[in-house]
A and B are shown apart, each in its own frame.
Chain A
């Protein structure tokens, strides 16, 4: 989880411009947003985790492995690998940084800090596995107060930096988010019923990844469309029609994989309408998206009520895509069950994220796509067919969202029901914005939202000081903060929403 929070919080310091350390720009505007925001959050954290903490302790269960021997071997191998990687990353980071300071031009590449943090987290988890820890118990009051002090300290540091007209380093936001999350988790679990309330950490995170699958597919669809300059509000419709077609086709053909393909086709079909109406007929893309969502909701509900309920065995009994274990990797304690015990759709998710990321940022195609989304006139001038690029990208986005929709009927539940996407298309939209129109960012944001979703159901079971409705609100509130610029700066592709007219 900490990689997620690092990513989402890393932009918190105002002024994302690559400012060189030590250089105070008197003319540079340093916003007070970060300082004020962090201070408020720190005070909130102190009140909740410190003053409102109780004497109980919070337990975090760590799932036992199914295969003892394989598990300990896997844990050891992972531990060694993670250790080597961590050392290598830290070494790289420091040498790059030093050379950067010396020459004044080189900077640490953007992927390095995130990768380092990820490697260290994996290292820590593997260490838990090697040591065969089955449960961590933390006293809530002590952890709460320590977290509060760190939060207040970080907020104070930010305010001090802002006062001195310096930009706050990026690690402050990341650390703040991580500490806040830990404090929050301990507080909320300790507030549960019973003498020593505990939750299964591995189960919580594994559930989050599962819940995040449709969100990730949806937000990738959004990334592909928005990067090319088409706003895709119709994600919800794409998910829903994907779910519907997957259920029907898988039932009729008695083949789950045919259902998966049908879901992709259905998503692309929704995209086709979006593309034709918004690119050819130049209708406002937001309108088309909103209307398509209503249309798909009405259409699937209508067909469900008429055809599917009349003949559930013949039309709405798709069967399931079983979870597949990847040999060796799934034996790694904690990490294995979370990441490598997925259905086919789950693995497709990882592939889709990587492919979309590499495609967008490391290929000629991606460069063209982004050019079309940022400045279509310029792209046209160098000979890129703007509207054709848009058309195919939107179609591809729809297919991806459609596959995400199949998760509902082929993985999560094995039958279609009315409006079963339940607004997740809109959360995917939020994840896309929270992830700043970047596939990796969208993936992490979707994980965060999946985590919030799962945490809500978990703490409802153990009982909690926070009403579940507020937990459910969290993704939406975070998104409002994100678009309002309180959590970093989010800027959509410049030409997003504007049709291109050659002329």
Chain B
């Protein structure tokens, strides 16, 4: 544990270096949990800074290969490969074409890759479409679908940074949508004012539902994971109940859906009526910038991060921990509330029982993939938005159930959460010595290069 960045004799460092994979993990965790006193943070502290402290030495190549960016890329790759295998195994046509694989290998490969081709076609660029609008439609759809994911993901990520596990994005989205939609269809205000009021209402709604969690956590010590899970259900049942009351139910409808929001309460469409992309996406970009500013440049953000890194130290340093906990949950809730607004004012245009879909849970995976950094979350949101949008097209074209997207997403997050696992699978363990891999040349190609890198260090 004594290892740090202090310069030392090379051989001394060498001797103290962990020899095996386990040792390396142990070092990471010891750093992360204050030597076993706390639960490990959501994103290992070592990867938040972008540098693994005890991997500071070594060639540039080795740092790139064993670094976190590489792990993220490999995780995505691994998950896509595993998802592909799953789809290939369950696809009867693949088995059919595999029968004459050696005669015509192209058939089977086409069949294996067809779902992914459809996925790309449905999420990025549709080269088969007749006109430019049709060709660009998938990418706008991706942006539309990612908007609530990014917003809710930011809320989850922000709470992660303060050491809080916010599983409650689902409930916060519902509350944001509930408040915003009510204002949207009962009040009748001029164009921009109305939208602004709706957005504020959504912020307030989400902040209330998130703030309750913070309050309970700060005042009674109730574990936020349990509270948020329970509040998700409570919010959902409350929504279902309200949609049966005259105040919320659409006139003349027996379905539990609300009236349409006023035209003035909707986000303007960015690219004309043939695309669903709306100004909510700009709001998501703005929110990302704001969260970045909050975390990196503001005193409040510093307090959040201090509380997340070590509560006791933060308290000793004079930070009001309960206040920080309540505030961070309220802000996280407000961000998730914005996601609810993106749903009711952007894509759905009315309130229904399924307004939050599974965005709140996807947001957790988005924040984890983005390593809880604002821009990381933004791009993770785009990636998962692409999966969602492409998944719909894939299901329509190849009859591959969209559930495969869930499998790929969760595999990605599982791998990303355990960098040593991915490094072990790809043989990229930065610490792996000749002892572990046997003699030179017996290892796989990358690990061989690492050894040469280590030798030059």
Contact = CB atoms under 8 A, between A and B. Distances in A.
Interface in B377-418: 400-401, 403-407, 409-411, 413-414, 417-418
Contacts of B400: 306
Given A290-B167, A294-B406, A283 B418 contact: yes
A243 interface: no
Contacts of B86: 299, 302
Contact of A298 (B37, B220, B407): B407
B229 A426 contact: yes
Contacts of A285: 39
A194 interface: no
Q: What range describes how many residues of A lie at the interface?
A: 35 or more
A430 B234 CA distance: 13
B368 A287 contact: yes
Nearest to A485: B220
Given A291-B365, A295-B414, A473-B233, A284 B41 contact: yes
A156 B418 CA distance: 55
A350 to B, nearest CB: 27
Contact of A429 (B91, B226, B407): B226
Contacts of B165: 286
B406 A288 contact: no
A477 B41 CA distance: 28
B252 to A, nearest CB: 21
Given A283-B40, A473-B234, A277 B368 contact: no
Contacts of B413: 287, 291
A497 interface: yes
Given A429-B229, A480-B231, A295 B411 contact: yes
B222 A497 contact: no
A233 B401 contact: no
A233 B364 CA distance: 14
A470 interface: yes
A301 interface: yes
A499 interface: yes
Contacts of B229: 426, 429-430
B40 A281 contact: no
Contacts of B167: 290
Contacts, number: 166
A376 B225 CA distance: 23
B228 to A, nearest CB: 10
Contacts of B1: 503
Interface string A428-447: 01100100000000000000
A467 B244 contact: yes
Interface in B415-437: 417-418, 420-421
B42 A305 contact: no
Given A480-B227, A501-B26, A291 B405 contact: no
Contacts of B230: 430, 476-477, 479-480
Interface in A290-342: 290-292, 294-295, 297-299, 301-303, 305-307, 310
A473 B227 contact: no
B315 interface: no
B325 to A, nearest CB: 14
Interface stretch (B124-132, B235-243, B266-274): B235-243
Given A294-B406, A306-B90, A484 B216 contact: yes
A483 interface: yes
B38 interface: yes
Nearest to B30: A501
Contacts of A305: 401, 403
Contacts of A381: none
A43 to B, nearest CB: 22
Contacts of A284: 39-42, 417
A67 interface: no
A339 B85 CA distance: 47
A423 interface: yes
B295 interface: no
B233 A498 contact: no
Nearest to A467: B241
Nearest to B361: A294
A162 B92 CA distance: 71
Contacts of A301: 401, 403, 406
B141 interface: no
A295 B410 contact: yes
B296 interface: no
Sorted nearest first, the 4 A-B pairs with minimum C-beta distance are A298-B406, A305-B401, A295-B410, A469-B241
21 contacts: A233-B225, A281-B418, A282-B25, A282-B29, A282-B40, A284-B41, A295-B414, A298-B409, A299-B86, A301-B406, A302-B401, A305-B403, A306-B91, A426-B229, A429-B229, A469-B240, A477-B230, A483-B220, A483-B223, A483-B227, A501-B33
Interface of A: 233, 277, 280-288, 290-292, 294-295, 297-299, 301-303, 305-307, 310, 376-377, 423, 426, 429-430, 433, 467, 469-470, 472-473, 476-477, 479-480, 483-485, 492, 497-501, 503
